[in-house]
Amino acid sequence: MSITCDCLVFAAKNKVEVQKLTLPDVGAGEIGVKTLYSGVSIGTELWILIEKYWCAKYPNIPGYQKVGRVEKVGAGVTNYREGDIVFLRTTKIASDIEPMWAGHTSYSVMPADETYMFRLPEGIDPVEASLLCIRAVGYHGAAEVMPINQGDTVAVIGVGMIGQFSAQTAMLAEAKVIAVDMLNDRLQYASKYAQATTFNPTEVDVDAEIKKLCPDGLDAVIDTSANAKAVNQSFNWLKAKGRYCFQGYYPTETPIDFLQPHIKELVMYNPTDSTPQGAARCAQYIAEKKMHIKEMISRTISFGQAPELYDELVAGNKEILAAVIDWR
């Protein structure tokens, strides 16, 4: 027995299709989950689609964050029951198509003991929860790897989705947050939800503004921009023995001027992905209204409209900050 579901496929470079996918039937110790919403990881998925992600292969099924309702419970499963709303990342598949990471599917079959799958807390909006991994990536760098501490002053360069949640995580740690971005709408979200002081480098001299705010230098910088010029410039903002978090994705060689890191003895971190513990913590923050995203979701579309969404992303539409695919 097998299950047929809908899925998104990156069929080739810059080519997105809706296809049918075969999944194995739900077996003992497994659950079947009907997808409600899957969140688009705009940065990672775009790198994959334009063939600049380090391990991209075609065809593949992208996506790594979704929310669904448990529809079937296999023999021996005691930790889930039908009707539970769960967060998960992927699915088992019964074909040889490349999963990267098979999040954008209308159904999932998963072992019930999967560590990165859990029941969502009461009061959480499943649309917001579908972008939980993006939150958890920012949380992982700012709270689990560095971490940002109470009283720190930290600058976040680039406040796309990961930058927004790096900033919100720093705010929750009772740090003082500075957000730097060239898009004012993103700076407004950082100001509203991370209580950040904001600077647009196309409008002000960021070096001078940070010097006025923090004459002795910053405690930490989190970069999500992957822009070599911005990275090298930001080394000047840090105090001696400051901390630097490379939180972006760096698909090509990034020339780094190590003079200031050497002189200041900077400590550098390179987080990647997220942890299930961090995702669960972020889910609780969302339910408690301590983390925010709903206003930042630019698009919620049906899965049949997804190819057009990705066409816009490839064309460089920067107005799309966050997107969610509706599989209902």
Element (H or E) spanning 171, and its range?
helix 161-172
pLDDT one-digit tens code per residue, 133-162: 999 999 999 999 999 999 999 999 999 999
Residue numbers of the domain that contains 26: 2-131+297-326
Domain assignment present for 276:
no
Rounded CA gap, 161 and 190, in Å?
Answer: 10
**Total count of residues recorded for the chain:** 328
Nearest alpha carbon to residue 182 among 158, 149, 213, 208:
158
Residue 221: the pLDDT is 99
Return the CATH number at 253.
Answer: 3.40.50.720
Report the CATH number that the domain containing residue 56 is assigned in CATH. 3.90.180.10
Asked if residue 68 lies in contact with residue 33, where contact means CB atoms within 8 angstroms, the answer is yes
Q: Is the pLDDT of residue 271 over 90?
A: yes
Residue 117 lies in a domain: yes
**Is the pLDDT assigned to residue 1 strictly greater than 90?**
no
**pLDDT given at position 147:** 97
Residue 262 sits in the same domain as residue 153: yes
Closest CA to 154 of 73, 260, 52, 239: 239
User: By percentage, how much of the chain surpasses pLDDT 90?
Assistant: 99
Neighbours of 28 (CB within 10 A): 9
Distance of CA 157 to the CA centre of its chain: 15
Q: Are residues 127 and 140 in the same domain?
A: no
How many structural domains does the chain have?
A: 2
292 within some domain: no
Q: Are residues 201 and 244 in the same domain?
A: yes
Task: Indicate whether 184 and 250 sit together in one domain.
Answer: yes
Q: Confidence class of residue 44 from pLDDT cuts 50, 70 and 90? A: very high
Tell whether 182 and 87 lie within a shared domain: no
Q: Which residue from 293, 145, 133 is spatially nearest to 220, judged by alpha carbons?
A: 145
Closest of 123, 294, 287 to residue 193, by C-alpha:
294
pLDDT score at 249: 95
pLDDT (tens digit, 9 = 90+) per residue, 174-228?
Answer: 999 999 999 999 999 999 999 999 999 999 999 999 999 999 999 999 999 999 9
Residue 96 and residue 8 share a domain: yes
Q: What is the pLDDT of residues 45-93, one digit of tens each?
A: 999 999 999 999 999 999 999 999 999 999 999 999 999 999 999 999 9
Taking 3-state DSSP, the helix, strand and coil percentages for the chain, each rounded to the nearest 5, stand at 30, 30, 40
Helical H runs in 173-305? Answer: 184-194, 206-213, 228-234, 259-264, 276-287
228 lies in the same domain as 144: yes
Do 28 and 55 belong together in one domain?
Answer: yes
Q: Are residues 175 and 111 in the same domain?
A: no
Burial of 180 (0-12, 13-18, 19+ CB in 10 A): buried
Residue 291 domain-assigned (yes or no) = no
Strand 98-100 relative to strand 85-88, pairing: unpaired
Tell me how far apart the alpha carbons of residues 7 and 95 are, in angstroms, rounded to a whole number: 13
State residue 29's pLDDT score. Answer: 98
My answer on whether 311 and 242 are in the same domain is: no
Reply yes or no on whether the pLDDT at 163 is more than 90. Answer: yes
Q: Tell me, yes or no, whether 290 lies in a domain.
A: no
In a domain, 282, yes or no: no
Residues 158 and 173 in one domain: yes
Scored b (16 or more CB within 10 A) or e, 87-102 reads: bbbbbbbeeebbbbbb
Q: Verify that 113 and 152 share a domain, yes or no.
A: no
Q: In this structure, is residue 287 part of a structural domain? A: no
| For range 164-176, the mean pLDDT | 98
Q: Would residue 283 count as lying in a domain?
A: no
* Dihedral angle over CA of 106, 112, 118, 119, nearest 10: 80
Identify which of 168, 142, 133 has the alpha carbon closest to the alpha carbon of residue 42.
133
